[in-house]
C-alpha cells in the first residue's frame, strides 16, 4: 500500500479499534489507539476523565495526542471526538488517507448500550443521537474514504476498507 498511515474516524461503537487492529495486521503496520494514549497521559480512563475533569479536558487531551503521536507506518484509531480538533485532523490527513467508518444510528445505539460505559466527549445531558447528528458533517468533511461498517464482520469491513485504500492510491 503506497501510503504508510491510515486514520480511522467515526462514532464511539463504529468499530475503529477492532477494525484498526485487523487492518494493521493485514497491511503490516503498527496499530495506534488514541483513546489508550489519552488514558496513559491522564492516568485515568475516559469515563473517569469526563466525570472528574469534564468533556473539554478530554477533548484537549485528544488534541494533544493527535499532535504528538508517531504517525509513521500506522493505522490510527481515533477517538470519536477527534474531528473537533482541526489541527489534529489536518495532521492525520497530511500523513495519509482518513477513512470514516459509517454506521447507522440504530446500530450504534445497540452497540454502545450492550458495551461497558465509555467516555463520550460531549456536553453533559447531550444524548448520543444529538452527538451523532452534530458529528456526522465533521466526519464527512474530513473523510477521504467512507466505508459502511454497520453490517458484516470486522474482518469483512477491514477487507473492504483495504480494497478501497488500494483504489484510492
> Which helix (H) or strand (E) covers residue 6, if one does?
strand 5-9
Rounded mean pLDDT of 97-106?
96
Domains in the chain and their CATH numbers? 5-168 (3.40.50.300)
Which range has the top average pLDDT, 1-5, 65-69, 107-111, 117-121? 65-69
Contact 46, 39 (CB under 8 A): yes
> Of 4-8, 14-18, 51-55, which range is least confident?
51-55
Hey, what's the cell of 95? Answer: 500523513
Mean pLDDT in the chain?
91
Contact 67, 90 (CB under 8 A): no
Which range has the top average pLDDT, 109-118, 125-134, 142-151? 142-151
**What's the CA gap between 30 and 91, in Å, rounded?**
18
Structure confidence by residue, pLDDT tens digits, 127-142: 888 889 999 999 999 9
**What's the CA gap between 166 and 162, in Å, rounded?**
6
Helix/strand/coil for 118: coil
Structure confidence at residue 50 (pLDDT): 86
Q: Binning pLDDT at 50, 70 and 90, where does residue 86 land?
A: very high
Q: Which residue has the cell 500523513?
A: 95
Rounded mean pLDDT of 156-164?
95
Above 70 in pLDDT, residue 1? no
Rounded mean pLDDT of 157-169?
89
Structure confidence at residue 2 (pLDDT): 40
Amino acid at each position: 500500500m503506497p501510503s504508510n498511515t491510515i486514520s480511522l474516524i467515526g462514532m464511539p461503537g463504529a468499530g475503529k479499534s477492532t477494525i484498526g487492529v485487523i487492518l494493521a495486521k493485514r497491511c503490516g503496520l503498527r496499530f495506534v489507539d488514541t483513546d489508550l494514549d489519552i488514558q496513559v497521559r491522564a492516568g485515568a480512563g475516559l469515563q473517569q476523565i469526563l466525570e472528574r475533569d469534564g468533556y473539554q479536558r478530554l477533548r484537549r487531551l485528544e488534541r494533544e495526542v493527535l499532535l504528538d503521536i508517531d504517525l509513521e507506518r500506522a493505522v490510527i484509531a481515533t477517538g470519536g471526538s477527534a474531528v473537533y480538533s482541526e489541527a489534529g485532523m489536518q495532521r492525520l490527513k497530511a500523513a495519509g488517507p482518513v477513512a470514516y467508518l459509517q454506521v447507522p444510528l440504530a446500530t450504534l445505539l445497540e452497540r454502545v448500550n450492550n458495551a461497558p460505559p465509555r467516555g463520550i466527549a460531549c456536553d453533559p445531558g447531550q444524548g448520543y443521537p444529538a452527538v451523532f447528528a452534530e458529528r456526522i458533517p465533521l466526519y464527512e468533511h474530513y473523510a477521504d474514504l467512507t466505508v459502511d461498517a454497520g453490517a458484516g464482520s470486522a474482518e469483512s469491513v477491514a477487507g473492504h476498507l483495504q480494497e478501497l485504500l488500494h483504489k484510492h492510491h
